[in-house]
Amino acid sequence: MFPQLEFKRSVVGNASVQEVRLDRAGLRVVAEQGLGVAENPVGAATVFYDFSPDLQPVEVSFSDQYIALHRHWEGLHRVDHALGEGELTEAQAVLSWDGHRFQPVAWPAAR
């Protein structure tokens, strides 16, 4: 399960997985956070979740459109902070089913 970040919290909706890519480097999950959000001039605002070939978490990153939407909302005073570590920590709140319950995914420390 991928977290609902501040844009999606402004509407009734969750992040939706738009694409899953598998290659020799591992797995990339593209989760949409911006569609359906009012005052969104950029459209899709995605978060990328990268996993190793053995599905260990590697990195979370934001699309250029996500960054642009955040800056736009800063200008509108809909958010009161610059994009930073808080969003990264929040985006890393991914849950994984272990067969009994959802457990937090442990991401490596930021590089």
Question: What number of H helices and E strands is found in the chain?
Answer: 3, 6
Q: What is the pLDDT of residues 82-108, one digit of tens each?
A: 898 888 888 998 998 999 999 999 998
What are φ and ψ of residue 82, in 5° steps?
-80, 155
Residue with tokens 């955040």: 70
Say how many C-beta atoms besides its own lie within 10 A of residue 33's C-beta.
29
pLDDT for res 111: 54
| pLDDT tens, position by position, 59-71 | 999 999 999 989 9
